Amino acid sequence: MPQQQRTYEVMFIVRPDLAEEETERVISTVESSATAAGSTVKNAERMGKRRLAYKVRKFQDGVYVLLTIEGPGSALAELERRLRVTEPVIKYITVRIDEEQKRLAKIKKIRDSKVRQRPQPAEAASGPEPAPVTA
Amino acid sequence: MADEEKKEVTGETATPAAAPETPAAPSAPAPRPYGRGPGGPGGRRPGGPGGRPGGRGEGGPRKFFRRKKVCKFCVEKIDSINYKDVRLLQQFVAERGKIVPRRLTGVCTPHQRRLTAAIKQARNIALLPFAARY
């Protein structure tokens, strides 16, 4: 049985003192190692330089990058290992988001159906409701 | 043992004037948060014995009417509590970086659980401080 495909978010911080093209190179190596580990990168978002809430490896700022990755857990474990040994990456976090997305989709569906239902009974009520009262 | 306790209770030391102001519930029609989850705390206090010493123990009529706290997430229908949304999370973090308890913010239990998880994730990736420097 093949391993389950799951959706993850990997956010990592690249050290801020690199030149822009070097940062880009780091990001692309992370992406390629993700694909090499057997997962697909759905989206890569550069969130830019941000002030860190606390010092990390004596850095006060960091370049935040957010990857959305789909793949089995083993691929993510491998990617985390690579991130750990990648020197310019000072911090990373992996969050599984497929369950959350499913939950949100469910809530949205319920809400949408409620929104659709609400106007309809109101219109329908104005029509047929007086009839039973008089009858 | 029980008799002694009873005696203490029955021994009326409080002034009889304190008796009339028992209407504990404020008459203001507090709008109820309807968006409570299934596991939401409906009636947490079943009015059991020994909760509060009636109206007798208090010195006089209650002067402060606290506004009914409502869960921000239920009212504004915020579905996702994400660790990336620092602006949102920051409202529930005290100055020193502590997570503000539910009893102060009024957030309902299911949402507080998600909020706590999100804050902890945000701390891990240095979006929020573990402890703010003073």
Least confident interval from A88-97, A119-128, B64-73: A119-128
* Chain B interface disruption, residue of A54, A80, A99, most B CBs within 10 A: A54
Mutate to test the interface with A, among B121, B125, B127 (most CBs of A within 10 A): B125
> In the numeric block, which tokens belong to residue B124?
């891990």
Residues in B closer than 8 angstroms to A66, CB to CB, are: 84
Chain B residue whose CA is closest to A99:
B80
Q: What is the ipTM of this complex?
A: 0.75
Residues A1-21 pLDDT 10s: 567 889 999 999 999 988 889
Q: What is the pLDDT of residue B67?
A: 73
Q: In what order do the strands lie in the sheet with A59-71?
A: A40-56, A59-71, A6-14, A89-96
pLDDT value, residue B80: 85
pLDDT digits (tens, 9 = 90+) for B26-80: 444 444 444 333 333 333 343 334 334 444 444 556 667 777 778 888 888 888 8
Where residue B93 falls among pLDDT bands split at 50, 70, 90? very high
Residue B115 has pLDDT above 70, yes or no: yes
Answer yes or no: are the C-beta atoms of A52 and A62 closer than 8 Å. Answer: yes
Q: Which of A13, A104, A108 sits opposite B126 (nearest CB)?
A: A13
Percent of chain B with pLDDT over 90: 23
Average pLDDT score over residue span A61-84: 91
Evaluate the CA torsion angle A74, A78, A81, A83 in order and state its sign.
Answer: negative
User: How confident is the prediction for chain B on average, in pLDDT?
Assistant: 66
Integer CA distances (angstroms), A39 to A30, A76, B11, in order = 12, 8, 76
